[in-house]
Amino acid sequence: MPAGGSADRRCGDFLQWALPRLGLRWAGFRKVRRQVCRRLRRRLGELELADLDAYREHLEAHPEEWTVLDALTPITISRFYRDPQVFRALEDQVLPALAAAAAADARDRLGAWSAGCASGEEAYTLALLWHGTLAARFPTLRLEVLASDIDPAMLCRAREATYDASSLRDLPARWRDRGFTRRGRRYCLRPEHRDLVNVRWHDLRNPPPAEPFDVVLCRNAAFTYLAAARQATVLARLTSTLRRGGALVIGLHESLPEPHPGLTAWPGTRAIFRRA
């Protein structure tokens, strides 16, 4: 693939052709396409193909290659406490309300799902928040977090739970100091936080896990990258996994597909919805 702006344009043109055939939206990938383009360059090398025109011909001649291409598309941008205002709302309003409801129902578990967790930072932020703020207020409850993603390499990193300083740059200092041990330049999450999180493979385009959740976080994933029809299907499935009164959290710059019956904006928050 040629270097420079020409290569970027050609990759953009290719993605505009290929992504809709995978049920994905070019608009979601436009600003982050370089991550996918790097993977495409590696794939061309593996196949010993000269350029993306040759790869298009290869796809048409070998339909099974579409599965390989689909695996090259996940965008893996993640860090702890990403979009702080969302986590402040979870800490101050949403999780206390959900925990109080769970305690009133005599439940011993508060269930959360980080859907599209990448390398685990979002799920582990919930664990840090719980231990740092809410566990003492709700001693009869245990937080259990399912962290799922489609990318096996990201899931390996999530299970390892060891991160560069850049992944922690938004995290409040009090949580960083209590939540990690240093290993050289790397930060290793302490076991008590790791133990709250179960890391599992899952494709958001597949049926959801069976267990009910009090809160589902699906941020900067389905409602950014999937085509409209698939977004509607995913939304219905995510909503079905929520307990009544539970919360769905999406990205700050995302919007839900219309209609979204049974969901109303959580008062005083952005990008958080309550199931009726």
Indicate whether 37 pLDDT > 60.
yes
- Tens of pLDDT, residue by residue over 198-232, are 999 999 999 999 889 999 999 999 999 999 999 99
Q: What pLDDT band is residue 136 in, cutting at 50, 70 and 90?
A: very high
Under 8 Å between Cβ of 217 and 147:
no
The answer to whether 1 touches 51, Cβ cutoff 8 Å, is yes
Partners of 215 in the β-ladder: 112, 247
Q: What is the pLDDT of residue 38?
A: 95
Helices (H), the chain: 5-18, 26-29, 33-47, 52-61, 65-71, 84-89, 95-104, 121-129, 152-160, 173-179, 191-194, 222-225, 228-241
Residue 2 pLDDT exceeds 80? no
pLDDT of residue 5: 66
Backbone phi, then psi, for 179, in 5-degree steps?
-95, -15
Give the pLDDT score at 1: 47
Q: What percent of the chain has pLDDT over 70?
A: 98
